[in-house]
Amino acid sequence: MYFLKRAFFKIAHSYITLGLDGWKDPNGKSIYAFILILLSGKEYIHSVKDFSLFSHTAEFISKEILKVIDDVGFENFSSVVSDNASTMVAAKKLVNNKYAHIIPVRCITHHINLLTNDIMKHEFQNQRFQNV
């Protein structure tokens, strides 16, 4: 993954996917990363933002997504991918309402992680791994 340089914006790329995810850092700050994913598979960090002082509503998140999209050029994007949290789903829908060609996508890796965690919580898995 590469840190994005401003010169990147001058280069026309199409079919960019905007990936974003939020998490709490060890100090409890709410951090969001905005990643540009190109067709070539290269990923560029557009920005990493501290949203600790803001309410994480769909409206707020969608405005932040739109800032990135408009900064790079809305015509270059094809999709936005994130986890399936209700706020993210609603935020991506608001982006899609403004730019119909930018489709909201769910991150399958996140779903697999959640599923695996749920499976590992079952008693039969605990017994199975105690015998290993």
pLDDT attached to residue 127 = 63
Name the 3-class secondary structure at 33. Answer: strand
In a domain, 35, yes or no: yes
Within a domain: 122: no
Q: Is 38 inside a domain boundary?
A: yes
Is residue 123 included in any domain, yes or no?
no
pLDDT of residue 40: 86
d(CA 85, CA 55): 15
The number of beta carbons lying within 10 Å of the beta carbon of residue 4 is 18
Note down the domain range covering 51.
Answer: 2-107
Residue 88 pLDDT: 92
Q: Which stretches of the chain score pLDDT less than 70?
A: 1-13, 108-111, 113-120, 122-132
Count up the domains in the chain and report the number. Answer: 1
Predicted local distance difference test score (pLDDT) of residue 106 = 83
**112: in domain:** no
**CATH number for position 91:** 3.30.420.10
Report if residue 28 sits inside a domain. Answer: yes
User: Is 57 inside a domain boundary?
Assistant: yes
Residues 5-24: pLDDT tens digits? 544 544 556 789 999 999 89
